């Protein structure tokens, strides 16, 4: 039987992708990063963000993969897809990874978030290049073109390098074509502290979004961070399984 081009390009990546995010002890309930102690439900950054945000944050955060430090092919893809000139191979790898995830698991994501169907999509803008369309938006827009796009602006008074949640980081006058239930799929490439993605989610909620679900291509892990060691060990000792996801429900797959 002839293999679909998407399948073969994801299969190649499965050779080097680490095991995907799963809930468990020492894993942040929000972002699937490492907590500083197995006793904690949230990682340091997510706890700090929650304390600052007054409850208006993403309803659900779903990383598709982990990115372990800066080594390895996946990390290279996440870096090279947005370089000038961009790596075509990296662009294709990330596109098919996202499409494959959506085909297999968007129902898991919707069920976990209590969303019947997404009405809008938004991309977390680049704070370093606020005047440019984010390369991820350029890459993935064809995959999510059935959703009405919300374009967030960037408040350049906030340091582009900040790792802190800021409720005024992104700008939005109003949600275009709002629905009785405006449910937004918010997309970003790499979650490091989550500050940008959560600031964007906060802005969308303040503008009237009912649900905001953040899907990121990769949750960054720092292998040198001691409390992350058990998690790094788990994900590097087993392969990526494209048949399951961070919020997988057997009945929802297909
Ligand atoms: Zn977290
Ligand atoms: Zn799933």
Query: How many whole angstroms from 217 Cα to the centroid of ligand 2?
Result: 14
Query: How many whole angstroms from 156 Cα to the centroid of ligand 2?
Result: 37
Q: What percentage of residues in the chain have a pLDDT greater than 90?
A: 90
Alpha helices (H) along the chain: 5-14, 44-53, 73-80, 88-113, 135-140, 195-206, 229-236
For residue range 97-135, list pLDDT tens digits in order.
Answer: 999 999 999 999 999 999 999 999 999 999 999 999 999
Query: How many whole angstroms from 76 Cα to the centroid of ligand 2?
Result: 25
Closest ligand to residue 251's CA? 2
For residue range 58-82, list pLDDT tens digits in order.
Answer: 999 999 999 999 989 999 999 999 9
Closest ligand to residue 252's CA? 2
Query: How many whole angstroms from 37 Cα to the centroid of ligand 1?
Result: 12
**Residue 11 has what pLDDT?**
87
Q: Is 121 helix (H, G, I), strand (E, B) or coil?
A: strand
Closest ligand to residue 103's CA? 2
What domains can be seen in the chain, in order of their start residue?
A: 5-240 (3.40.50)
Q: Tell me: pLDDT of 2 over 70.
A: no
Closest ligand to residue 221's CA? 1
Mean pLDDT of the chain: 95
Is-contact 198 33, C-beta < 8 A?
no
Query: How many whole angstroms from 16 Cα to the centroid of ligand 2?
Result: 20
Q: Tell me: pLDDT of 54 over 90.
A: no
**Residue 251 has what pLDDT?**
66
Give CA separation, 232 vs 55, 66, 100, 185, 220, in Å. 30, 9, 24, 28, 11
């Amino acid at each position: 039987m002839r293999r679909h081009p998407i399948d073969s390009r994801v299969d190649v990546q499965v050779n080097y992708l680490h095991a995907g995010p799963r809930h468990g002890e020492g894993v942040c309930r929000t972002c699937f990063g490492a907590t500083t102690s197995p006793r904690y439900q949230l990682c340091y950054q997510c706890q700090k963000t929650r304390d600052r945000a007054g409850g208006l944050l993403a309803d659900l955060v779903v990383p598709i993969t982990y990115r372990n430090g800066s080594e390895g092919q996946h990390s290279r893809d996440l870096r090279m897809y947005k370089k000038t000139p961009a790596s075509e191979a990296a662009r294709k790898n990330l596109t098919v990874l996202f499409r494959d995830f959506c085909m297999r698991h968007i129902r898991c994501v919707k069920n976990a978030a209590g969303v019947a169907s997404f009405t809008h999509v938004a991309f977390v803008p680049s704070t370093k290049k606020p005047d440019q369309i984010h390369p991820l938006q350029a890459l993935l827009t064809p995959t999510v073109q059935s959703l009405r796009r919300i374009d967030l602006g960037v408040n350049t008074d906030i340091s582009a390098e900040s790792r802190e949640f800021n409720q005024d980081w992104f700008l939005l006058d109003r949600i275009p074509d709002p629905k009785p239930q405006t449910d937004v799929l918010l997309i970003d490439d790499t979650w490091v502290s989550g500050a940008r993605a959560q600031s964007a989610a906060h802005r969308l909620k303040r503008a009237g979004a009912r649900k905001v679900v953040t899907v990121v291509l990769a949750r960054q892990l720092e292998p040198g961070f001691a409390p992350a060691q058990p998690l790094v060990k788990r994900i590097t000792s087993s392969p990526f399984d494209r048949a399951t996801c961070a919020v997988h429900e057997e009945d929802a797959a297909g």
